[in-house]
């Protein structure tokens, strides 16, 4: 096929640009031995002719500025050729500006929700971590207190008084650091006082005052915070030998001192409210403090100084009060049944409502 035949097939509407020559592949020189090569050459010739025809039918776009509306029409043609979204398609795209805004808003809300959930997750993790750290610290603290307690109790049994004093004050510090352990520590110190301040054997005279370690234990017991004792706890020092003890301004409320020896003790300003002192030895003791409601039946108070003491409602049944000083003492409602007040000084004492039946009042000053 030559160039003229190709042009005739285009029709009269096609305009052939000048100087266009069709590529030509010659087949005249093929021999019978190269039939396959000749067929290939003919195929290439036909492909070249079709490309020329296609280029003539679709001339290139002119170079230069586009006419008004040409870009818009091109965009419309492009949109027309795009695939259409159907109403049943689950991935349907928004078709209006309002829907596009709605999709964007929902996207922002989803992102915000995810950020909030992430923040809450971090906060929860932080809270759990803090709780875990707090629990671990509490366990460590309890272990440390246990170790300190064991060491302090071990020191109480040491032969050296200095080591024992260290153990007593170590228990006091534990009592301050761990208030819930206070009742147990009070029992330990009470037992220590009873053990290290026993009554002297029959016929022997005891010490004029307690040893330093016993005084230290008494100081811890009488100056503790009673709010951590519980509602009914009582310090038991019954039968202890505490003659000459220095207990000024001490808080002995609800102490159990039955049959204890406190002769010559200094209890100036001490609080002995509801203290059990039945059968206790308090000869010559200074007791001008608060003894409201104290149980002092059969107590030995010979020569005791109770000037101005508050003894309202005190049980002094059968008490030995010979030569005691009760000047200006408040004995309102006290029970003095069968008490021995021989030679006692009751000058200015308030005895309103006091029961003094069967009391011995020989030589009493009023």
Residue 209 is assigned to a structural domain of this protein:
yes
Question: DSSP characters for 243-311?
Answer: TT-B-TT-B-TT-B-TT-B-TT-B-TT-B-TT-B-TT-B-TT-B--SB-TT-B-TT-B-TT-B-TT-B-
* Overall residue count recorded for the chain in this entry: 366
Q: How far apart are CA 78 and CA 286, in angstroms?
A: 115
Residue 168 lies in a domain: yes
pLDDT value for 24: 43
CB-CB contact of 214 with 221 (8 Å): no
Confidence (pLDDT) at 331: 95
| Structure confidence at residue 44 (pLDDT) | 74
> Does residue 164 sit within a domain?
yes
Distance in angstroms (rounded) separating the CA atoms of residues 202 and 180: 41
Percentages of the chain per state (helix, strand, coil), in multiples of 5: 40, 5, 50
CA 235 to chain centre: 32
**C-alpha atoms less than 13 angstroms from C-alpha of 47 in its C-beta half-sphere:** 6
Residue 180 lies in a domain: yes
DSSP H stretches of helix in 58-85: 70-81
Residue 237: inside a domain: no
DSSP letters, 132-193, are HHHHHHHHHHHHHHHHHHHHHHHHHT-SSHHHHHHHHHHHHHHHHH-GGGHHHHHHHHHHHH
State both tokens at 39. Answer: 């067929």
Structural domain count, the chain: 1
Q: 3-class DSSP state for residue 91?
A: coil
Q: Which residue has the tokens 């440390």?
A: 144
Q: Find how far residue 96's CA is from the centre of its chain.
A: 57
Q: Is residue 342 part of a domain?
A: no
Q: Is 176 a member of any domain?
A: yes
What is the reported pLDDT for 126?
85
pTM comes to 0.63
What pLDDT score was predicted for residue 26? 44
Residue 191 lies in a domain: yes
Cα 329 from Cα 288, distance rounded (Å): 9
pLDDT tens sequence for the chain (366 residues): 444 444 444 444 444 444 444 444 444 444 444 566 666 667 776 776 676 556 555 455 554 555 656 666 665 665 565 555 444 444 445 555 566 667 778 888 888 888 888 888 888 888 887 877 777 676 677 778 889 999 999 999 999 999 999 999 999 999 998 888 899 899 999 999 999 999 998 878 899 999 999 999 999 999 999 888 876 578 999 999 999 999 999 999 999 999 999 999 999 999 999 999 999 999 999 998 899 999 999 999 999 999 999 999 999 999 999 999 999 999 999 999 999 999 999 999 999 999 999 999 999 998
In the block, which residue shows the tokens 């330093």? 212
Q: Which of 282, 206, 276, 288 is nearest to 249 (CA)?
A: 288
Best CA proximity match to 312, nearest among 296, 288, 330: 330
Which pLDDT belongs to residue 76? 67
Structural domain of residue 207, as residue ranges? 151-228
Contact (Cβ atoms closer than 8 angstroms) between residue 347 and residue 365:
yes
Query: What spatial distance separates the first Cα and last Cα of the chain, rounded to whole Å?
Result: 162
Q: How many Cα atoms within 13 Å fall on the side-chain side of residue 149?
A: 18
Q: Which of 348, 366, 264, 340 is closest to 309 using CA atoms?
A: 348
> Cα(16)–Cα(10) distance, rounded to whole angstroms?
9
CA distance 130 to 336: 63
Q: What gap in Å lies between CA 274 and CA 31, rounded to an integer?
A: 142
Tokens standing for residue 125 = 């993790």
Tell me the CA distances in angstroms from 149 to 142, 152, 185, 220, 226, one per residue in order: 10, 5, 9, 16, 20
């Amino acid at each position: 096929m030559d160039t003229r035949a190709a042009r005739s097939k285009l029709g009269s509407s096609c305009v052939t640009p000048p100087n266009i020559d069709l590529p030509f592949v010659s087949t005249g020189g093929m021999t019978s031995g190269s039939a396959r090569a000749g067929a290939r050459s003919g195929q290439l010739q036909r492909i070249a002719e079709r490309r020329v025809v296609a280029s003539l039918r679709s001339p290139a776009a002119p170079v230069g500025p586009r006419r008004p509306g040409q870009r818009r029409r091109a965009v419309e043609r492009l949109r027309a050729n795009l695939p259409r979204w159907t109403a049943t398609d689950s991935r349907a795209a928004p078709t209006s500006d309002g829907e596009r805004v709605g999709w964007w808003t929902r996207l922002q809300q989803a992102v915000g929700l995810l950020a909030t959930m992430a923040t809450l997750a971090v906060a929860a993790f932080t809270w759990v971590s803090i709780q875990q750290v707090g629990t671990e610290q509490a366990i460590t603290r309890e272990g440390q207190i246990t170790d300190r307690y064991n060491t302090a109790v071990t020191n109480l049994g040491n032969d050296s008084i200095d080591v024992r004093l260290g153990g007593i004050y170590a228990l006091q510090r534990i009592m301050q650091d761990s208030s819930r352990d206070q009742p147990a520590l009070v029992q330990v110190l009470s037992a220590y006082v009873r053990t290290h301040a026993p009554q002297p054997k029959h016929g022997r005279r005891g010490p004029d005052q307690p040893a330093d370690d016993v005084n230290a234990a008494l100081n811890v017991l009488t100056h503790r915070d009673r709010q951590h004792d519980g509602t009914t706890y009582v310090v038991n020092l019954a039968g202890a030998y505490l003659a000459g003890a220095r207990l000024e301004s001490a808080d002995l409320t609800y102490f159990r001192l039955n049959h204890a020896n406190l002769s010559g003790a200094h209890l100036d300003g001490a609080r002995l409210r509801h203290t059990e002192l039945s059968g206790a030895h308090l000869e010559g003791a200074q007791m001008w403090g608060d003894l409201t409601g104290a149980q002092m039946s059969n107590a030995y108070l010979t020569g005791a100084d109770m000037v101005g003491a508050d003894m309202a409602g005190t049980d002094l049944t059968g008490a030995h009060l010979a030569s005691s000083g009760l000047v200006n003492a408040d004995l309102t409602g006290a029970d003095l049944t069968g008490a021995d007040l021989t030679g006692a000084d009751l000058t200015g004492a308030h005895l309103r409502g006091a029961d003094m039946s069967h009391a011995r009042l020989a030589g009493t000053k009023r």
